[in-house]
Amino acid sequence: MWVIENQQYLGEVDTWSRAEQFGDGVFETLLVSDGVSRALSLHAKRLQLGLRSLQISPPAQNLQDMLSGYVDNMVEYSGLRNGVLKVMVSRAKSARGYGYEDQAEPCIAVFFSPYQPPKSGFYEQGIDVQMCSTQCSIQQQLAGLKHLNRLENVLAKSELQSDCFEGLMGNYLGLVIEGTMSNVFFEKGDALYTPELSLSGVAGIMRSLIMAHCRRKGIALHITHIKMNALAQFDSAFVCNSVMGLLPIKKIKDKPMAIGKLTRQLQMAIRSGEIYA
Amino acid sequence: MWVIENQQYLGEVDTWSRAEQFGDGVFETLLVSDGVSRALSLHAKRLQLGLRSLQISPPAQNLQDMLSGYVDNMVEYSGLRNGVLKVMVSRAKSARGYGYEDQAEPCIAVFFSPYQPPKSGFYEQGIDVQMCSTQCSIQQQLAGLKHLNRLENVLAKSELQSDCFEGLMGNYLGLVIEGTMSNVFFEKGDALYTPELSLSGVAGIMRSLIMAHCRRKGIALHITHIKMNALAQFDSAFVCNSVMGLLPIKKIKDKPMAIGKLTRQLQMAIRSGEIYA
């Protein structure tokens, strides 16, 4: 095919990135602290699940070793020991059209960026959160995966008002799903609640770590459908992801929230590293 | 940020394609016949709607002139007078993260490929169509748009058995939405029926042309919810898109379909060019 890119005629080109044409791939975002990433095995496991679900040939026999190698390389190349590593694995390039060749070699792009953590006050006093009008799509085959079709997150993020650090997204069925770049948990009495993600959303690594921690510690955790219009029942809530950890919510829309006992307990477990046990 | 792409260390790079990172853009696919594309104004209109919906700055004041210019350039560069032009417009490059700068210059990639039309027998005797298990996502803000988040089409297409030219996709609510690369119409008695696309799907240009033709000719057309389990009620059906035109369906799953009177009438209107009136 003949290609013009940004006004420049490139001549005849056989193939073009399928990540760019279709978002045909998955990605992982890892926190690197003092030269290491502490949740490599979970990231590798989710990456493997994503590749298998999309029928993309894995780029390495051992994905955990691959991720670990990228962490080491980037720490060396950049001279930074703290940052965020993003690894995108997409299906091989192809010409126009949805079809693809089996067994084609996948493409990998890896970015390493300095990390600017949220203000420390956000961890202590909590953040304001708004409700986004952009929905999470309902798509059972893709739900849970961290795939490259992320337009809805882009649109939801663009809705955020300057005083809101994060926004919550629901789906067409009126269920709360997640934040624009995080998962969400709610606290009531002695239990935690987090949205079930079989229809929509990304199953985050910090969410998995928190789930495992709750199992180990005997903390009641309900993974369930939570209606957008039923948030008033909860006393406390927080958002989390692998990079920023856990941020308590001090206000959802106009409703003030208290910072819960379990929320603080989990925050400590992340700070101490116990969460990665 | 520091970048490694396919094992190659690229050094420090400020930004990366947002189409590749997030599928953050839209595209159009135009048929070029004898050096011209006959539905430029509709493609330009849909492109404009898509860009506005995603809040991407339009890359030109007059998008129809822009598309027309790409057709002319590509016909000249390639020496081909017949082919398929694909124009992808995505939001400007950025670093990692969903946020973006307003007013950033969009990126444009344009491909021109030779066109291999389906066998002529498919137009005469019809095609076999299967039901895909991959769903169309339900996402009200993105429904109708031809955006770059096309993983579900890739997965649905990969399901196609060798004897099926196309597959039909439904959504979580059990509604028929479209083909993997086409829109679908059904015929019963003196009327046509096509899925309403406010929850899922791409509003195709050939679909729009057929809708306009039906209005002009007084052909009854119902744009409505059609349940997957209610397809048995229809006598005939066809799929269509801007590139291949209209293909009658001779079998859906195991159910043989007749080729309808209106289906043939529309096929003639496409062949004669009357559809572009």
In total, chain B counts a number of residues equal to: 277
Residues A180 and A198 in one domain: yes
Residues B128 and B247 in one domain: yes
If pLDDT is split at 50, 70 and 90, which confidence band does B101 have? confident
Q: What is the CATH number of the domain that holds A29?
A: 3.30.470.10
C-beta atoms of B1 and A150 within 8 A: no
* DSSP H or E segment with residue A99: none
pLDDT by residue (tens digit) across A39-51?
999 999 999 999 9
Q: How far is B39 from chain A (nearest CA, A)?
A: 20
Average pLDDT over residues B61-80: 97
Q: What angle do CA B236, B242, B247 make, to 5 degrees?
A: 25
- A116 to chain B: which residues are within 8 Å by CB? none
pLDDT of B255 > 80? The answer is yes
Residue owning tokens 């989990």: A266
- B74 to chain A: which residues are within 8 Å by CB? 2, 4
Amino acid at position B101, single letter: E
B79 Cβ neighbours under 8 A, 6+ residues apart: none
| Residue B208 buriedness (CB in 10 A; 0-12 / 13-18 / 19+) | middle
Residue owning tokens 């799907």: B201
pLDDT of B104 > 80? The answer is no
Point out the least confidently predicted range of A90-104, B22-36, B110-124.
Answer: A90-104
If pLDDT is split at 50, 70 and 90, which confidence band does B96 have? confident
pLDDT of B102 > 80? The answer is no
Interface test with A, best of B55, B107, B108, B151 (most A CBs within 10 A): B151
Residues B108 and B127 in one domain: no
C-beta atoms of B109 and A172 within 8 A: no
Residue owning tokens 């039909």: B168
pLDDT of A103 > 80? The answer is no
Residues A125 and A93 in one domain: no
pLDDT of A123 > 80? The answer is yes
Q: Tokens in use for A73?
A: 């390389």
Q: How far is B10 from chain A (nearest CA, A)?
A: 10
Boundary of a domain, candidates A113, A145, A169: A113
- B151 to chain A: which residues are within 8 Å by CB? 22-24, 54, 142, 147-149
Residue owning tokens 């961290």: A146
Q: What are phi and psi of A12, to 5 degrees?
A: -90, 130
Residue of A nearest to B142 (CA): A152
What letter does residue A55 receive in the DSSP assignment?
T
pLDDT of residue B92: 86
Average pLDDT over residues A167-192: 98
Q: Which of A22, A112, A156 sits opposite B151 (nearest CB)?
A: A22
CA distances to A206, A207, A240, A250, A266 from A184, in Å? 10, 8, 6, 13, 13
Amino acid at position B144, single letter: G
C-beta atoms of A16 and B109 within 8 A: yes
Residue of A nearest to B59 (CA): A6
pLDDT of A101 > 90? The answer is no
Q: Which of B134, B138, B157 sits opposite A141 (nearest CB)?
A: B134
Boundary of a domain, candidates B62, B81, B113: B113
CA distances to B139, B166, B268 from B132, in Å? 19, 9, 29
Residues A109 and A124 in one domain: no
C-beta atoms of B55 and A158 within 8 A: yes
C-beta atoms of B24 and A154 within 8 A: yes
Q: What angle do CA A101, A103, A109 make, to 5 degrees?
A: 95
Boundary of a domain, candidates B113, B129, B146: B113
Residues B17 and B137 in one domain: no
Q: How far is A261 from chain B (nearest CA, A)?
A: 31
Q: What CA–CA distance (Å, rounded) separates A112 from B10?
A: 12
Q: What are phi and psi of B99, to 5 degrees?
A: -65, 155
Q: What is the number of other CB atoms lying within 10 angstroms of the CB of residue A275?
A: 22
Q: Tokens in use for A29?
A: 């975002």
The answer, yes or no, to whether ipTM is higher than 0.90 is: yes
Residue of B nearest to A90 (CA): B20
The residue range of the domain holding B127 is 120-276
C-beta atoms of B5 and A96 within 8 A: no
Residues A177 and A200 in one domain: yes
pLDDT of residue B139: 98
pLDDT of residue B277: 87
Residue owning tokens 């006050």: A121
pLDDT of residue B105: 87
Average pLDDT over residues B16-38: 96
Q: What is the CATH number of the domain that holds A176?
A: 3.20.10.10
What is the tally of structural domains in chain B?
2
Residues A102 and A227 in one domain: no
CA distances to A57, A166, B193 from A29, in Å? 20, 18, 45
Q: Tokens in use for B169?
A: 């996709």
Q: What CA–CA distance (Å, rounded) separates B110 from B70?
A: 8
A184 with A203: CB under 8 angstroms?
no
pLDDT by residue (tens digit) across A14-26?
999 999 999 999 9
- B134 to chain A: which residues are within 8 Å by CB? 141
Residues A179 and A105 in one domain: no
Q: What are phi and psi of B52, to 5 degrees?
A: -65, -45
If pLDDT is split at 50, 70 and 90, which confidence band does A124 have? very high
Q: What CA–CA distance (Å, rounded) separates A45 from A205?
A: 10
Q: Tokens in use for B38?
A: 């006959």
Residue of B nearest to A136 (CA): B139
C-beta atoms of B96 and A86 within 8 A: yes
- B150 to chain A: which residues are within 8 Å by CB? 21-24, 98, 149
Residues B35 and B144 in one domain: no
Q: Tokens in use for A51?
A: 């590749």
- A7 to chain B: which residues are within 8 Å by CB? 108
Residues B128 and B52 in one domain: no
Q: Tokens in use for B112?
A: 């021109």
Interface test with A, best of B5, B9, B21, B24 (most A CBs within 10 A): B21
- A93 to chain B: which residues are within 8 Å by CB? none
- A78 to chain B: which residues are within 8 Å by CB? 2
Q: What CA–CA distance (Å, rounded) separates A37 from A42?
A: 11
Q: What predicted TM-score, i.e. pTM, was given to this entire model?
A: 0.96
What letter does residue B50 receive in the DSSP assignment?
H
Q: What CA–CA distance (Å, rounded) separates B65 from B58?
A: 13
| Residue A127 buriedness (CB in 10 A; 0-12 / 13-18 / 19+) | buried
CB pairs under 8 A between A and B: 221
Residues B149 and B239 in one domain: yes
Distance of CA A71 to the CA centre of its chain: 18
In total, chain A counts a number of residues equal to: 277
Q: What is the number of other CB atoms lying within 10 angstroms of the CB of residue B103?
A: 7
